[in-house]
């Protein structure tokens, strides 16, 4: 049987099928790549934001004797090469080459006290393999080879070293000073230079915060602070640095490229790190054992845990798109098969075998579907992102479903030549087995939703809990079954009411709608998942947008916030108040204070909470009012400090504060840990180092008004823009928008195709009624009343299901990864999108009804009726 002549006759239906297939394949193959690409980009961004000391792989070993000492840089380089040679295959693409990124080698002492300081001053000695290209000498010169001196009758080594500029200011270490180190095994250090980092923001320095700044620690039971710094040695100094008599650690840092790991490869990388740690521990190292130190597995696993539910919800939306797209394409195949049935039946009656006839019909569908599938698959490669199995499986499933449905339908429709089919025979009642199965599906769906809400996610499964995948599907199927079974009953009530009226059109239209068999309404039920998923996507998008705004306010704590490590003078505060757009400025003071007389410390903010509440007027966050004062200074404390009553706080002076309430967090300042909120006047001389600003002033103008280079200005608008511009956040908005639009379009196409599929039967009914006096207006009303109830019922059920899915999924929907780390706690769905979707469906149904009656009006009754049916 020739296919091309049949394809020319059915060209319009084939074009519709091809366009639907093309769009579905492009979306189903492109969107997963876009989503997975955003997952990878967000992973890379989180690794770049983390400290290099957490991300990189650091191999360390202690030297405890001269036999274990490394005296030459070449010895470090040889072991670095050994550590790289034993890297597992999964880690080799992740670790950068030698000399790149943050990779380096080092040797540092720790706990090295300055003689005569009473154990309150420590100067450690350190060698960095790449110090020359990391620091600049601001005073003095670079260190040279060590020398010797006599101390307490013994000859000791004198190391030439350089210290950071801050050590000069806080520890009094100046160029030319000589300090003796150690309590028993003495050495001396001569300060020959001061240095500053060439790039203080370089991630490299997170490996050596002790080199870059002075560390201050308050020992328990003491009011004075211990001060620690690490002085840099030259390669010559390394030759005299020994672990005998002091604490000495060698380190080899293998740099991890933050852009190398992928979210799909995280499990392999974490397993490889564990295996690498075991292998490193087996390397020969004298009397000490090598150990691997890295926070990368915790970072990767924490990222996946935060992303798992959000990933599942995204692919749940894409799964709904797949189901709806396949359903609409099957409808289009149904339309093409109906139009080609007459020609195929004639070929079958003329002696064509079932294989020939069914094969011809299947080939006709394949002629439209296969090229469109390949074209859509090819278009998806224009979307950047990794290739997932779903990229290949989606188009293949669409093509297979279309061709497979065509083959089965053709084989069943043409089992026998000229097989007579009667559409006016009453449908059989559903069997008890079928009813039992449907009741079981509904019960399981409701039970699954209840369990998901009450028990939450299964422990250790996060977003991979099967309940989170199966419950939405089960709820959609249950809603579809209930709609199929229940929608005729309210219609029959309206039929009874219409039967009492004087007009026949409402009675006839509603009667035809109520008597529609289950099989005839199945195509329309494609609207249910389409509407449910599209409304669900719009509700999720709205919830994410609201939470992003909330997260930005929680991050800053005001419209603008000025933070300074030193006191802000009164004239700077006055200049800020004069900046255009500034409505209100509330000064505050933050500090780390001593609790009691031991080493326990807590963060504190002194602020007028009443004024701060005015700053937050109209914002989605607020702060509590300060309770009335009683004995002592009133304070709001964190949950960690709950129940302590009155506390002695060491700040500018010793102050007794009394607990007056508990706050879980302070917007813009504290989210966890030990902290207090006290009145601004707690100190004798209130000094502001923080300003909380209300208004829409420009952040740069505020920074210029402050006039302090170390002061930082944070803006709620900029924080919101940063959250919205994150790769993951931007992608989820695009995916949800595209999915909503695509599902709405598929729903409208389903309505049109359904109208066209039922056109022949509808034309036949109108052909019977027109000779009895049915007018054109009545024909249009009859058609609308026949198709509109099912569409409206399905639309309402789909809208209700979409609005209820977030609440039904309950704790399974955790979208904090898309909202700046803040949990999307509430969904307040707007009615704009649901109303537009329902109105669009109704308008398309009405327009289709009018178009159908206009077309059928031009057809003669003999075109729709068979011989003898008018007799």
Q: pLDDT for 201-219, tens place per residue?
A: 899 999 999 999 998 886 7
**Please, which pLDDT band fits residue 791 given cuts at 50, 70 and 90?**
confident
Q: Closest by alpha carbon to 634, among 613, 653, 623, 649? A: 649
What are the pLDDT digits (tens) for 294-304? 999 999 987 87
Residues 395-422 pLDDT 10s: 999 999 999 999 998 888 777 776 555 4
Joined tokens for residue 824: 């999307």
pLDDT of 817: 67
pLDDT recorded at residue 823: 67
Q: How confident is the model at residue 427 (pLDDT cuts 50, 70, 90)?
A: very low
496-527 confidence digits (pLDDT tens): 888 887 787 788 778 877 766 544 565 666 77
Q: Is residue 556's pLDDT more than 50?
A: yes
Highest mean pLDDT among 530-534, 716-720, 745-749: 716-720
Choice between 79 and 780, residue whose per-residue pLDDT is larger: 79
Note the pTM of the prediction, 2 decimals: 0.73
Cβ atoms of 620 and 649 closer than 8 Å: no
* pLDDT over 90, % of the chain: 34
Is the CB of residue 726 less than 8 Å from the CB of residue 45? yes
Residues 6+ apart with CB under 8 A from 257: 94, 95, 96, 101
pLDDT at position 442 is 86
Q: How confident is the model at residue 89 (pLDDT cuts 50, 70, 90)?
A: very high
- How confident is the model at residue 70, as a pLDDT? 92
| pLDDT score recorded for residue 466 | 58
Establish how many alpha carbons lie within 13 A of residue 245's alpha carbon, considering only the half-sphere containing its beta carbon: 14
pLDDT value at residue 180: 93
For residue 788 the two structure tokens come to 């509109």
**pLDDT of the residue at 826:** 59
Lowest mean per-residue pLDDT among 543-552, 575-584, 694-703: 543-552
Instruction: State pLDDT tens for residues 373-390.
Output: 999 999 999 988 888 888
**770: pLDDT strictly greater than 80:** no
Q: Cα torsion at 855, 859, 861, 865 (round to 10°)?
A: -80
**C-alpha 689, offset from chain centre:** 35
Cα→Cα distances 859→764, 768, 852, Å: 10, 13, 11
**pLDDT value of residue 465:** 56
756 or 264, greater pLDDT: 264
Better-scored residue on pLDDT, 175 or 322: 175
Does residue 612 have a pLDDT over 90? yes
**Arithmetic mean of pLDDT, 630-653:** 85
pLDDT of residue 539: 77
How high is the mean pLDDT of the chain? 83
Predicted local distance difference test score (pLDDT) of residue 269: 94
Query: What is d(CA 623, CA 13) in angstroms, rounded to the nearest whole number?
Result: 63
On whether the CB atoms of residues 713 and 706 are closer than 8 A, the answer is yes
CA 100 to chain centre: 31
Q: Please compute the mean of the pLDDT values over residues 55-78 and round it to a whole number.
A: 92
Q: What pLDDT digit, counting tens, does each position of 453-470 carry? A: 676 555 444 445 556 667
Between 476-485, 623-632, 773-782, 850-859, the lowest mean confidence (pLDDT) is in 850-859
pLDDT at 868: 46
Q: Where are the extended beta strands (E) located within 44-97? A: 57-63
Among 114-123, 192-201, 340-349, the range of highest mean pLDDT: 192-201
Q: What confidence score (pLDDT) does residue 441 get? A: 84
Any residues with CB less than 8 A from the CB of 428 and at least 6 apart, and which? none
């Amino acid at each position: 049987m020739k296919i091309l002549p049949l394809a020319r006759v059915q060209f319009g239906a084939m074009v519709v099928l091809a366009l639907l297939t093309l769009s579905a394949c492009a979306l189903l193959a492109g969107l997963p790549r876009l989503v997975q690409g955003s997952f990878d980009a967000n992973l890379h961004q989180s690794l770049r934001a983390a400290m290099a000391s957490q991300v990189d792989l650091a191999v360390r070993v202690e030297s405890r004797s001269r036999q274990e000492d490394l005296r030459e840089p070449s010895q470090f380089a040889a072991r670095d090469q050994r550590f790289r040679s034993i890297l597992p295959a999964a880690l080799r693409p992740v670790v950068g080459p030698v000399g790149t990124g943050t990779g380096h080698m080092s040797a540092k002492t720790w706990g090295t006290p300055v003689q005569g300081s009473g154990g309150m001053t420590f100067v450690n000695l350190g060698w960095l393999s790449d110090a020359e290209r990391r620091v600049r000498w601001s005073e003095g010169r670079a260190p040279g080879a060590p020398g010797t001196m006599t101390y307490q009758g013994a000859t000791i080594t004198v190391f030439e070293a350089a210290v950071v500029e801050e050590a000069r200011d806080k520890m009094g270490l100046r160029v030319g000073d000589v300090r003796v180190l150690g309590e028993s095994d003495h050495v001396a250090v001569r300060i020959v230079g001061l240095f500053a980092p060439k790039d203080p923001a370089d991630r490299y320095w997170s490996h050596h915060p002790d080199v870059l700044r002075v560390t201050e620690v308050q020992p328990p039971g003491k009011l004075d602070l211990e001060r620690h710094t690490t002085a840099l040695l030259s390669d010559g100094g390394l030759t005299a640095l020994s672990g005998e008599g002091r604490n000495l650690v060698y380190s080899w840092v293998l740099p991890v490229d933050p852009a190398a790991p992928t979210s799909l490869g995280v499990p392999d990388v974490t397993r490889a790190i564990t295996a690498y740690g075991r292998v490193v521990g087996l390397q020969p190292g004298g009397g000490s054992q090598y150990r691997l130190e890295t926070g990368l597995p915790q970072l990767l696993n924490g990222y996946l845990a935060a992303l798992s539910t959000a990933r599942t919800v995204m692919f749940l939306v894409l799964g709904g798109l797949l189901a709806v797209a396949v359903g609409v394409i099957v409808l289009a195949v149904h339309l093409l098969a109906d139009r080609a049935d007459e020609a195929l039946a004639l070929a079958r009656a003329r002696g064509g075998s079932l294989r020939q006839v069914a094969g011809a019909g299947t080939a006709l569908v394949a002629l439209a579907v296969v090229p469109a599938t390949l074209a859509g698959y090819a278009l998806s490669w224009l979307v950047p992102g990794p290739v997932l199995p779903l990229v290949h499986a989606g188009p293949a499933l669409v093509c297979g479903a279309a061709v497979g449905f065509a083959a089965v339908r053709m084989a069943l429709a043409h089992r026998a030549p000229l097989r007579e089919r009667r559409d006016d025979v009453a449908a059989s009642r559903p069997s008890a087995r079928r009813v039992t199965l449907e009741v079981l599906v509904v019960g399981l769906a409701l039970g699954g939703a209840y369990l998901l809400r009450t028990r939450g996610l299964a422990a250790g499964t996060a977003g991979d809990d099967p309940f989170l995948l199966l419950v939405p599907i089960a709820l959609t199927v249950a809603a579809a079954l209930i709609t199929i079974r229940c929608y005729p009953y309210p219609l029959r009530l309206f039929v009874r009411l219409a039967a009492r009226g004087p007009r026949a059109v409402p009675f006839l239209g509603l009667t035809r709608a109520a008597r529609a068999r289950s099989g005839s309404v199945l195509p329309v039920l494609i609207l249910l998942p389409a509407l449910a998923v599209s409304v669900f996507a719009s509700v999720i998008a709205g919830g994410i947008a609201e939470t992003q705004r909330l997260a930005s306010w929680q991050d800053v704590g005001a419209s603008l916030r000025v933070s300074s490590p030193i006191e802000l003078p009164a004239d700077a505060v006055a200049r800020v108040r004069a900046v255009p757009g500034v409505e209100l400025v509330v000064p505050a003071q933050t500090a780390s204070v001593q609790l009691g007389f031991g080493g326990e410390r807590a963060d504190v903010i002194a602020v007028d909470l009443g004024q701060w509440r005015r700053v937050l007027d109209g914002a989605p966050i607020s702060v509590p009012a300060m309770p009335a004062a009683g004995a002592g200074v009133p304070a709001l404390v964190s949950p960690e400090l709950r129940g302590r009553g009155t506390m002695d706080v060491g700040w500018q002076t010793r102050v007794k504060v009394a607990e007056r309430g508990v706050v879980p967090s302070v917007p813009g300042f504290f989210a966890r840990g030990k902290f207090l909120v006290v009145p601004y006047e707690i100190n004798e001389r209130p000094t502001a180092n923080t300003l909380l600003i209300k208004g829409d002033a420009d952040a740069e103008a505020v920074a210029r008004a402050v006039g302090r280079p170390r002061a930082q200005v944070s803006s709620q608008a900029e924080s919101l823009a940063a959250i919205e511009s994150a790769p993951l956040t931007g992608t989820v908005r695009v995916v949800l928008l595209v999915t909503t639009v695509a599902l709405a379009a598929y729903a409208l196409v389903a309505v049109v195709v359904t109208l066209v599929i039922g056109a022949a039967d509808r034309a036949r009914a109108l052909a019977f009624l027109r000779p009895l006096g049915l007018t054109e207006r009545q024909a249009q009303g009859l058609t609308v009343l026949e198709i509109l109830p099912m569409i409206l019922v399905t639309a309402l059920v789909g809208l209700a299901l979409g609005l209820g899915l977030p609440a039904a999924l309950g704790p399974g929907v955790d979208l904090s990864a898309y909202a700046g780390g803040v949990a999307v706690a509430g969904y307040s769905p707007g009615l704009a999108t649901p109303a537009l979707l329902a109105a669009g469906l109704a308008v398309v149904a009405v327009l289709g009804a009018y178009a159908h009656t206009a077309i059928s009006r031009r057809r003669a009754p003999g075109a729709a009726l068979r011989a003898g049916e008018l007799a």
